[in-house]
Amino acid sequence: MTTKVVDTLIPLYIKEFSCIGAACEDTCCSGWRVNIDEETYKKYKKVKKIEMKSRLEKNIIRNRSNPTKSNVAKMKLEKGSCSFLSKEGWCDIQSQLGEDYLCNTCATYPRRNNIVNRVFEQSLTVSCPEATRLVLLNESGIEFEQGQKEVNIKELISIINTSSDEITHWKDLFNEYRYITIFILQNRNYTLEERLLVLGMLYDELEEYVKKNNINEIPNLFGQYLKCVEDYTFKNAFNNVSNRLDIKIRLCRELVVVRLNQGINSSRYLECSRDMMSGLNIEAKTTNEEVKEAYEDAYTKYYVPFMKEHEYMLENYLVNYLFKNCIPMDCSSPFESYSRMILHYTLIKFHLVGMANHHKGLTTELVIKLVQSLSKTFEHNPTYFEKILGLIKENNIMNLTYMSMLIKN
Ligand code: SF4
């Protein structure tokens, strides 16, 4: 195993994380495929403890069709959960053989590790309930800390290198994108809706600069936006953006149906989606006009009053999302990356409004339950999002007007 001392950039919440094991409401061993890497697989072959040796032989399935170093086998699932999950909710491999015997997937989860321009970055994915609490519940917002750390190279997932002396590609400005995007997202002089709309304008302009190959002028554009955000130029600037709730409702209904049709493993998400549908009166025969009435009512009565006090939860979700996924490096263009983030935000908000009506109000626990289970169901399903983004591109709606309509209300 190789370790190395490297520079780090890590959100402060990471220090507080530890797995709560048996007390977990939605253990990561349930509903997910657990791939085993080559190094761990070889270790399992050498286990001497008789009982564990026979369990490993029985419950590990070789990947014979398409093996890679990180995926030579997988754990057998029993009733949808890992066969090594004890009745009390602990991992038998860890408790009987030790942490060193965890495969890379289990040793790393829910951490996301990146090396970005030679700096080690770690964050948590909110598909883990304990991680969701740490990420979302910090009222003063997510803070980051720079330092140094000895890192186990085995834990790394992706390496991104963008720094170069000469700027020749829009991705060479990654550090600048990230700085300005987090700066705008955490600026509480604006509502979250306003912040997302400002980012939409910025990413739309970036897209034009990239298309016209004006890469060297991008830093000037950032300077102008920073100045305008600081001197309140954008405050109340979006009151005239049209509020096309009908369009948002049509899209969200379709997004949920496409995902439900793929089959859902998370019972927590199924509970949330049922509550959302009951709150918005969504049934096969309900018209979008009827859903719109229920949405408008729930939005004013329950969602807005709760979010007045708790908007920081969605801000933290978005800041964590963009740090973890190295936005906008996750897509082939800046605006596509922005659109992907807005789709996640829109789905979360749509569910919360429906759930608020069903429960006659929102609580921090309901927001945590929804964000965690929705992330497990949607965010960890890359093929789903590729399909959705493909459809949005085909229909020519990956544009500022459409995304702004999704953000409003
Ligand atoms: S989901 Fe998180 S808290 Fe729950 S068992 Fe997995 S790592 Fe632990």
Q: Which residues line ligand 1 (CB under 6 A)?
A: 19-21, 24, 27-28, 109-110, 128-130
Each residue's pLDDT tens digit, 221-276: 999 999 999 999 999 888 888 778 999 999 999 999 888 888 888 899 999 999 99
Q: Print burial letters for 240-258: b (CB count within 10 Å at least 16), e (below 16).
A: ebeebbeebbebbbebbee
Neighbours of 55 (CB within 10 A): 18
Ligand 1 mutation target, pool 130, 135, 376, most atoms within 8 A of CB? 130
Q: Which residues contact 155 (CB under 8 A, 6 or more apart)?
A: 104, 107, 108, 111, 113
Q: Which of 292, 354, 351 is nearest to 317 (CA)?
A: 351
Planar angle of CA 344, 232, 190, nearest 5 degrees:
35
Distance 29 CA to ligand 1 centre (A): 8
Each residue's pLDDT tens digit, 268-318: 999 999 999 999 999 988 999 999 999 999 999 999 999 999 999 999 999
Q: Where are the domains of the chain?
A: 29-108, 163-409
Ligand 1 mutation target, pool 75, 126, 128, most atoms within 8 A of CB? 128
What pLDDT score does 239 carry? Answer: 85
What pLDDT score does 155 carry? Answer: 60
Give the integer Cα–Cα distance in Å for 301 and 355.
12
Distance 357 CA to ligand 1 centre (A): 30
Amino acid letter, 218: I
What pLDDT score does 381 carry? Answer: 84
Split the chain (409 residues) into runs of 10 and give each run's mean pLDDT: 86 95 89 89 95 95 90 90 89 93 92 92 96 98 95 71 80 94 97 97 96 94 97 90 87 90 88 96 92 96 98 98 95 95 96 98 98 92 86 90 91
3-state DSSP call for residue 10? strand
Distance 25 CA to ligand 1 centre (A): 8
Give the integer Cα–Cα distance in Å for 370 and 282.
18
What pLDDT score does 153 carry? Answer: 63
Neighbours of 288 (CB within 10 A): 15
Q: Give Cα 114 to chain centroid, integer Å.
A: 15
Distance 122 CA to ligand 1 centre (A): 17
